[in-house]
Structure 1
């Protein structure tokens, strides 16, 4: 079934071509404490609740499981794998590099490929394969086998984030996207907080059980977490509104979902042709959003480059205290993500939230660059820097909104935004966040200030282009 088409004249602000669409009405915004828009009918509210149960449960659990594996190899390395596989050189660095090669190179191709297949099968199937390649790592006898498996694990897990952002944009209105994007995003933070406890507990209790070393059990546990979640996805995910065969949604609910997306001109999937790709690449949507994503993706360096734990260690804090104190940063990310998601949906405050976050990160980086400040202020700066990633859901929800007129453009732009961040994040820290500079990363903190200043400049450029397009479309 295809979404109904609504006709009126306007100009497409990205390609400059004439299209037949009527002005998009501004959605009625719910209060910050409300889950539904005042204009949502009882039928819409039931549909939204169903979608939350069918989509958000799976994507949250699946993203949480991805984080377990991303840290499993590092944990396994210090838990016996180094000695068993004789990894006495730079093999751990090579393993991480191979993983990132698969992660980065396959993000865009697999995200675009997903748009050609039923999403309700593609995502869970990729999860099942990811679980299998995770499991077989426990049987490796040499590092060469591990290299091959790590590539496929990176490839199958790397496209999940942009794919889910695109998928949520196929079902939810722009006044609903930010909160759900925040819920999805914080799964990674919860995963990073819980993975250490799960892996350390597994090693302590399972090492030697059935003759299997503890580090090998870590991969078995990742597999055991992934497979049930993938099966949940196969049972629950409803595809996309224009191609939905879910037994859990009625025909009327599917038609309602189509009309909701049509009301915002969220177009269904079309053939992916070279002329369409050229049109996408020639428009401002791609270049401005991807450029903006570069500055955002690199601006979380304070919280992602171990400055806090290394400083605590230099100050002679104990291991238990370090492990406890460093959980504050992801907690700040979780709280700020939820706050931004709620406020962005309720007040359409995307620009203000992004600018405020950049300003807070600049303040934190200035304090840390100065370094010789009171201890309490230094703690505050480290914790405050955890807010840098809290606007991820807002930025990707905005990209979904800007590229609403083409499902293919949404897929290409969102996957490219994520890929550019991961690509530069794989090598830039080697030059900016040098271990020899720890814990006072003077270059890194000043680099973060520059990134946030550039992000603010790009924010106003992005807002200017978008305001002009909305004016042309009479939004």
Structure 2
């Protein structure tokens, strides 16, 4: 994408910043809408919007178009994460929330874990097909994956207990975000490309190790807080912070060996551990 769209300077960072701005702008309005429009309607609508914008990304001709698309994608995406935690909090007791929040958070991380494999496979098999670059095909496939899940949500998402219409339920059965920029902005992939010596497939594969560590950290911490019935969730935040500080120090070491940087990026996966416990 960088070469084809002639991206220069810090435009990659600008893309991420503009997405974050859209996310911040959209969070409160999206959550207010959940009080007006049933979540089983609002969530899928936002997913469809996100999917359409993803398709649009595959056809861009300059980086300015990506700026606009990513802002509105951020607004649409901001409906889901905090909104789903609101739904989880409507259904589960306090002693059950940590584990459920952990499963939800980890499901997103599992998607990230496999994204490197998907990216490499798309590049290997579709790059140049029908005159489109591999990165363009990746956005097309992302959109194709998204839309069926959105339509599934119209049918199956349960809303909240007070007004659920889920056919499978009866009355008897009813800030830490920016510390995650190591993974959410794929800084490791950018670093691997910058230092050179790695194939495109390796640049897609290797960051998956950080996501795997994030999944393990999230599930272990969330399960621990439920198992101990601990309302003091601060040890998880301390674990997160210590891991991120160590990772940051390692990455700031001048002329650090490659292995140390790999260790630091993978350790930074701990930054996700607080999502489930804090939201719960």
Q: In which range does the TM-score fall when normalised by the shorter chain?
A: 0.7 to 0.9
Residue-pair matches, total: 276
1:396 aligns with 2:279: yes
* 1:239 equivalent among 159, 164, 169: 159
1:156 aligns with 2:53: no
Separation of aligned partners in 2, 1:197 and 1:225 = 15
Q: Report Cα offsets for 1:318-347 as digits up to 9, x if no partner.
A: 557776654332222111111111111121
Tell me which residue corresponds to 1:328.
Answer: 209
TM-fit CA distance, 1:211: 4.1
User: Structure 1 residues 363, 340: closer, same or farther in 2, change over 3 A?
Assistant: same
User: Structure 1 residues 307, 138: closer, same or farther in 2, change over 3 A?
Assistant: closer
Separation of aligned partners in 1, 2:59 and 2:178 = 36
Tell me which residue corresponds to 1:348.
Answer: 229
TM-fit CA distance, 1:188: 3.1
Tell me which residue corresponds to 1:139.
Answer: 59
- Where does structure 2 lack aligned partners over 5 or more consecutive residues? none
Separation of aligned partners in 2, 1:356 and 1:301 = 18
- Where does structure 1 lack aligned partners over 5 or more consecutive residues? 1-76, 258-292, 398-475
Tell me which residue corresponds to 1:109.
Answer: 29
User: Structure 1 residues 138, 352: closer, same or farther in 2, change over 3 A?
Assistant: closer
* 1:185 equivalent among 105, 114, 125: 105
User: Structure 1 residues 318, 246: closer, same or farther in 2, change over 3 A?
Assistant: closer
Tell me which residue corresponds to 1:273.
Answer: none
What TM-score comes out, normalization by structure 2 length? 0.80
Separation of aligned partners in 2, 1:313 and 1:213 = 21
Q: Report Cα offsets for 1:331-389 as digits up to 9, x if no partner.
A: 22111111111111121234353255157427735973895999988866654443232
Separation of aligned partners in 1, 2:87 and 2:93 = 12
Higher Cα Rg: structure 1 or 2? 1
* 2:139 equivalent among 208, 219, 222: 219
RMSD: 3.7
Q: Map 1:416-435 to 2 at 5 A.
A: none
Q: Report Cα offsets for 1:431-450 as digits up to 9, x if no partner.
A: xxxxxxxxxxxxxxxxxxxx
Separation of aligned partners in 2, 1:87 and 1:366 = 27
Please tell me whether the aligned partners of residues 124 and 233 of structure 1 are also in contact (alpha carbons under 8 angstroms). Answer: yes
* 2:122 equivalent among 188, 194, 202: 202
TM-fit CA distance, 1:173: 1.2
User: Structure 1 residues 224, 242: closer, same or farther in 2, change over 3 A?
Assistant: same
Q: Report Cα offsets for 1:14-42 as digits up to 9, x if no partner.
A: xxxxxxxxxxxxxxxxxxxxxxxxxxxxx
Which stretch of the first structure deviates more once superposed, 201-210 or 227-236?
Answer: 201-210
Q: Map 1:380-391 to 2 at 5 A.
A: 383-391=266-274
* 1:122 equivalent among 35, 42, 61: 42
Q: Report Cα offsets for 1:209-236 as digits up to 9, x if no partner.
A: 3444433322211110001111111111
